[in-house]
Structure 1
Amino acid sequence: MTETNLRILLAARPEGAATLDHFRAVEEPPPAPRPGEALLRHRFLSLDPYMRGRMNASKSYAKPVEIGDVMEGQSVAQVVEDLSGTFAPGDWVLGGKGWQRFSAVPVHALVKLDPDAAPPTAHLGVLGMPGTTAWAGCTELAQPRPGETFVVSAASGAVGSVAGQIARRMGARAVGIAGGPDKCAYLRDELGFDDCVDHRAPDFPERLAAACPDGIDSYFENVGGAVQQAVWPLLNDFARVAVCGMVAEYQGDLQPGPNLSSVLRKRLTLRGFIVSDFPRAAPTWRATGARWLRDGTLKYREDVTRGLENAPTAFLGMLTGKNFGKTIVEIT
């Protein structure tokens, strides 16, 4: 093969906000697959907020990316070579590894995709890890109920947009929190949210309270920071809080949280989670979400950047809310 493998590496660990200087691009020969592996050509790369945590050396639920290693990420890809015969050249699969053009991955770790059943990019977003996260967070933890008020932050993103649609199907009143009037209009007019509040508004806490006149019964947390501060006083007794992400604090800007005496006083249920905590959620959501996509009742939006070399810029923009929908890089 004459093509080279463009790879985006972690050049240094950020102290505070990540910048373009923390990434480095290199061109190398494509990897040679070992027995039991398939050589993949990546077509679309998923960019997700959790990757910012992988850039740090602090202890977490997953191992950090080492300096000089390729940035972590999942791709949909096409098979170039598989000597085991499990996949044919050209097959679409989920499971490409890293911010790079090619990877060699064990065939048992790959999921074959049918590009005629759903767009391949859907398996990075609405049918993939973000959609599964929304499903697990709603059905296992937040548990929105008929007649209740469900609130989700980062509501126009890959996880929040699906979570709100699931909550409405479960009978709850869905209120989104998003950045800007265009995102709020999209949530109300296209996704069917009952209301949306712009967290950039100077009177955001008052607007959120007006949108939730009966308080908040379940909250899907993706942001933290000032948004969390506004949500907390509105939580009703016995409210459920599913803590999925803290994107407002991933760049090192840690903010004080609410006084946890309210957990006792209001008898709140508060649980942090990652999607792998609920392994049964993935196959259930893939089947459920695919059915809703086919009948047109599940909607999604993608924010696609062209060119792997532009992945760092797209990633940093996502961390500051510049994306609109699921952030994906088309690897040309």
Structure 2
Amino acid sequence: MSDADGNANNTEIIGDGTTGANRTDDGAKDELTEASGLASLPSDAAATSSMTGITTGQAVGIGFGSAIGGVFLLLAVGLFFHFIRKGNLSRKRRPQPVPPDSAALDLLEQPLAHETIRKDMRSLQTGIKNFVDNYFRFEKVILDAAGEAQIQALAGRPSQDSKSSWSDALGDPSLQPLMTRAIISRALFAMIDPKYDGNITLLPPDLKGAYQSLHDTGPSSRRSIDVHQRTRLLSLWRRISGHLLSPSERPDQNQVEGVADEIAAALAPLRHQKSGNYHAVLRTLVASAAKLGMNLFEQPHEWRALWSTSHSGKRGVAVFPGLSFITEVQPSDKGHGFEAVNSMRVCKVVIEE
């Protein structure tokens, strides 16, 4: 190896070493720069925190407030849906409008046809005739004062003559069957008449009492009463009241048995033959009369029994009444109740000799 080559190599080594030293210095500078940058990070974070203006305590407060706000929001939403649901239910339960009064008539039974009433009247008349023919064998009848009073309490007087008596009417044996039929008929129709003042009735007593209270207008003048309107209201009241009665009150069996016992006691002086199902048949007649009475009570027009005929020359005994419906009334001249002005006859009185 020559000196020149050795110098060259030395130079290269020296050059490389110089170069390495330079790199070493540059690396040291870079490390210092990086270290200074890392050291500056905390100051940058503080600067960022100071720029936003929020401390750790404030951040915690914001989070807590957000949680409470969320709770209130949930409560508000829950209440909102609760009121919506309640409103829907209230709309579903909203009461229906009250129908007019005329709609109430649709709930009532239709009035009986006149032919149906005539059929029921004929059936009761035939039943009374058969009862008297089958269970009475007449002889001379003598009624004492107690017997006369008992019959009169049930059937009234045999005629409008205040001097008439059942003792005289029953004095003729040939007329006794007819008079006995008349006593039974008059007693039954008195007890189904809502205007009848007697204590014994085949109508529900409370219903009869209410009717008489409403029917009694008191000492009112004709001008102070709208008769047409009052008649319509009373008609509607009678129909609704009868419709609302329970089946056990149509008729009441205790009333039927009580009336049958009263009639049997009044007829005892006239009946000399005791046989058969006398009391059972009599109770059947009384029950039929009670049913007829309630049917008549529920009709649109009030009714009245007819015990006389317009034919003044016709003689005989009125054994069964006729029937008419009162279509127009006016206040009574006595100032109490109403009296008929116009009426419609359904069936005529049965008079036999």
Superposition TM-score, scaled by structure 2 size = 0.22
Higher helix share: 2
Superposition TM-score, scaled by structure 1 size = 0.23
